Structure 1
């Protein structure tokens, strides 16, 4: 492939969407690809001059063309053209195979119009509406000098980045198996402190759960117990009132007064009303992943920034 025939962007390198045909070509050649191997294969296939192939960002020293392939992999995965089959491995989907025959016409506009990508964008908007800050990162001034302005921009950009991570996290959970989700929900509630110092937490056996997926005893004697229902649904599969009523019945059989219903989708208005009258706490997909980031379950801290100011008291002492 002669890279000069592709749409070129900054640094004289192909744009991420210009790489789509090459990515799909390689992805279709074997059952799955390790991300690093796929990035290198695509980058090498461009036949770039040595200086461009080895070009790195000045700050982070990441290889630019491989970084651009990584961005393309992320966008294609969000759109459902590729899927992550396990950690660090990618596989072409049926949709990706369909697009393979017309990959030369696939650009960022087409990718961003696909249903899964649109769903992802809608979810990001909903997260922003639920957040405490409505700042649009694109509206921030590029030239900042005051500590307040810098703090404002760091907070906004960090929130925007974390919103993307949370949306990706939710999609990964939806692609997992139901038993994994049940384990995840129990681990999250334990991380939030519901187990207590001497309590216990466990996932019930699937063959005999009686409508209860997890149990948390908040003390050693089990006098305070939280019962959990976990539904790993796709975004379009909204939890309805009958499922809340069923969980309420399961709680009654346990003589319980504490129930938490978590899902990867949403709750209908009827389900919300039923939960209020039955004293059941509802956690939907967006709140679930917000809590996962807050309590660092399924994620890890990537970077911390330190912002200094003058200690006026130090100078007053002189």
Structure 2
């Protein structure tokens, strides 16, 4: 029996929805449900409860048959945990990784899922620290930050000094610009609001920015805040239908972009996780 042969009966047994069966990691690196089956088979093989007569195929071993006949589920799980030196789960109904688009409930996490969860926890902690640090700085520093961020994201290309923070006394509602060509005929206008989490950007503030952007040749603008936007502000931008083009970025999106660009961050550690190259091993003859 192969992994693909187990998917349907296991999905039926656990009464999984199509969304749970097809859930993938946000990284795009594989299907969560199929990954869980593969890990379960690995544990069973390590505990000698199944055998692999050839690559990719599994059959229950004599020991496995004897355990099914004489032991209950809890005893079998305890035996497997001990065999693979895996600590017993201390919590019940733990959900599959936050990296999955549609979590699948289970009692334990696979090593890959635990690693993904740890990564997401660390990432969220850093993003929280980022937001707190930004709020501790002056508004002018935030304007510099968002200009640096857009350049780090690739806007402005190879143009030297593409990002500019406007003068405070004469910014006309625009805090910065990103030049998209050498002479500056085309550019992106930026509005930056360093607001506390509960201080949402209103429709009136967005409208003022739209008016300023509408007067520029490019008619393209990005409004960035550390908080969020009111429903009215979001609906107003949607009603513009791209004339002018306005992008709203809230605090959550802001810290995500900063994290992904590594702006103001240092790499603490790089983990190299390996897996079998199936194409390589498939060229060798099976015994």
Please report the TM-score for the alignment, with normalisation by the length of structure 2.
0.58
Distance 1:246 1:307, change over 3 A: same
Q: 2:249 aligns with which of 283, 298, 309?
A: 283
Q: Which residue of 2 aligns with 1:272?
A: 234
Q: Which residue of 2 aligns with 1:217?
A: 179
Report the CA distance between 1:256 and its aligned residue.
3.8
Distance 1:156 1:231, change over 3 A: same
Structure number with the higher helix fraction is 1
Give CA-to-partner distance per residue, 1:239-263, whole Å, 9 cap, x none: 0000011001111232441000000
Q: Which residue of 2 aligns with 1:243?
A: 205
1:208 aligns with 2:174: no
Distance 1:227 1:140, change over 3 A: farther
Query: Structure 1: any 5+ residue segments left out of the alignment?
Result: 1-127, 143-148
Number of aligned pairs?
183
CA distance in 2, matches of 1:237, 1:132: 31
Greater C-alpha Rg: 2
CA distance in 2, matches of 1:236, 1:300: 30
1:153 aligns with 2:119: no
Q: Which residue of 1 aligns with 2:155?
A: 194
Please report the TM-score for the alignment, with normalisation by the length of structure 1.
0.53
Give CA-to-partner distance per residue, 1:126-156, whole Å, 9 cap, x none: xx99x7646599x7726xxxxxx32222112
Distance 1:174 1:166, change over 3 A: same
Distance 1:290 1:226, change over 3 A: same
What do you get for the CA RMSD once the two structures are aligned? Answer: 2.5
Q: Which residue of 2 aligns with 1:295?
A: 261
Distance 1:188 1:140, change over 3 A: farther
